[in-house]
C-alpha cells in the first residue's frame, strides 16, 4: 500500500471532526476531544484580487514606466502612448477657445453702445425731440447686438468644453498606477499598438492586507460564525509559521470545492466561502494563491 493510499481526503477528516463535534462517544477512554470545531482548506488572497489594468485609449506605446517585480506608487506612470495626436487636438481646441473669447470684448462694447443709443433716442422721442421710428430701429439694433453677444458667450462655453474634452483625451493616453503595489505582470512592449480591447497591459498586486478565503464544508456551516477565532497553517510546503485569524464573514451561496485535490471528492463536495482576516500581518509576505489549512477553534 502506498503513502498516497494511506492519505485520507480532507472531507473524510471533516466528517470525522464533525462526528466528534456532535458528541459521538470516543473509541477509547483515553481519546482526547478535538481541539478544533472545524477544519477547512483555504488560500491567501486580498480583497478585490489583482488589479488588471487596460489602456483607456488606443495608440502606439511610446514609454513604459515600470517592469515586472517593481514596486509602484499611486499615480506613477506605467504606460504612455504617443501624445502627438492628442496634443494636436488640444492645440486646435485652445485656438478655437482663444478666437471665441476675443470676440466677446468687441461684441460687449457694441451691445452696450447700442443699448445706450436706443435709450437716448427713446427719451428724445418721448420729449418730442425725435421720432419713434428711429428709437424703435435703435432698440432693434441693441437687441441684435445683445443676441450676438449671447451667442458669442455660448460659443466660448462650447470651446471650453472642447478644450476640456481634448485634455481628457490626452490624459487617457497615460496609464497610471491606481494604488501602491507590486507589478506582477507586464504584457506590453515599446512600439506596440494597444487599445481598450487588447486586454490588460499590467497586473498589479495592491499593498493591501492579506485575507484567507476558506472553503467551509456544508457540515460545518452551522458551527462556524462571524468573529470566530481560527489558526491558519501552511498547506503548501512553504514552511509558514501558524497565524492567528478570525472569521470576517461567511457566504450565503453553496458551490463546488476548488481546492480539493481528489476530483471525485471535489465534484461531490459542497462548500461555502468563508473569509478570514489575519490578526497580524506576518513579517514574511504571503503569496496570493498560497494554500493554507484553516482550523476553527471552538468557543
pLDDT tens figures, 185-216: 999 999 999 999 999 999 999 999 999 999 99
- pLDDT at 33 (0 to 100): 53
- pLDDT at 160 (0 to 100): 94
Mean pLDDT of the chain: 84
User: What's the average model confidence in pLDDT over 247-252?
Assistant: 93
For residues 229 and 121, the model is more confident at: 229
Identical topology for domains 3-47+209-296 and 51-82+174-206: no
Given CATH 2.40.30.170, say whether it is the number of domain 3-47+209-296: yes
Asked whether the beta carbons of 83 and 170 are under 8 A apart, the reply is yes
CATH number, span 51-82+174-206: 2.40.50.100
CA 288 to chain centre: 18
Question: Domain segments of the chain: what residues?
Answer: 3-47+209-296, 51-82+174-206, 84-171
- pLDDT at 273 (0 to 100): 93
User: How far is 158 from 121, CA to CA, in rounded Å?
Assistant: 36
Least trusted range by pLDDT, from 34-38, 62-66, 120-124, 229-233: 120-124
Least trusted range by pLDDT, from 46-60, 157-171, 185-199, 249-263: 249-263
What is the model's pTM?
Answer: 0.70
pLDDT tens figures, 151-165: 888 989 999 999 999
Amino acid at each position: 500500500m502506498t503513502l498516497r493510499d494511506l492519505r485520507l481526503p480532507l472531507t473524510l477528516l471533516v466528517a470525522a471532526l464533525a462526528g466528534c463535534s456532535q458528541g459521538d462517544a470516543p473509541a477509547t477512554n483515553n481519546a482526547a476531544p478535538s481541539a478544533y470545531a472545524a477544519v477547512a482548506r483555504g488560500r491567501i488572497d486580498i480583497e478585490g484580487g489583482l488589479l488588471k489594468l487596460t489602456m483607456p485609449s488606443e495608440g502606439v506605446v511610446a514609454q513604459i514606466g515600470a517592469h515586472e517585480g517593481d514596486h509602484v506608487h499611486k499615480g506613477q506612470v506605467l504606460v504612455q502612448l504617443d501624445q502627438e495626436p492628442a496634443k494636436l487636438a488640444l492645440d486646435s481646441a485652445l485656438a478655437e477657445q482663444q478666437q471665441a473669447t476675443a470676440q466677446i470684448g468687441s461684441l460687449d462694447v457694441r451691445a452696450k453702445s447700442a443699448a445706450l443709443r436706443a435709450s437716448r433716442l427713446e427719451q428724445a422721442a418721448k420729449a418730442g425731440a425725435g421720432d419713434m421710428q428711429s428709437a424703435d430701429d435703435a432698440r432693434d439694433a441693441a437687441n441684435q447686438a445683445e443676441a450676438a453677444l449671447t451667442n458669442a458667450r455660448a460659443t466660448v462655453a462650447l470651446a471650453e468644453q472642447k478644450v476640456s474634452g481634448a485634455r481628457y483625451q490626452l490624459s487617457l493616453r497615460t496609464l497610471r498606477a491606481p494604488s501602491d503595489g507590486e507589478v506582477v505582470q507586464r504584457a506590453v512592449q515599446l512600439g506596440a499598438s494597444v487599445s481598450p480591447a487588447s486586454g490588460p497591459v499590467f497586473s498589479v498586486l495592491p499593498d493591501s492586507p492579506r485575507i484567507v478565503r476558506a472553503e467551509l464544508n456544508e457540515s460545518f456551516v452551522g458551527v462556524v460564525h462571524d468573529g470566530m477565532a481560527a489558526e491558519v497553517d501552511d498547506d503548501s510546503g512553504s514552511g509558514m509559521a501558524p497565524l492567528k485569524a478570525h472569521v470576517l464573514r461567511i457566504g450565503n451561496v453553496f458551490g463546488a470545492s476548488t481546492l480539493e485535490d481528489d476530483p471525485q471528492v471535489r465534484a461531490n463536495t459542497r462548500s461555502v466561502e468563508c473569509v478570514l482576516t489575519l490578526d497580524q500581518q506576518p513579517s514574511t509576505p504571503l503569496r496570493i494563491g498560497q494554500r493554507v489549512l484553516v482550523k476553527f477553534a471552538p468557543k
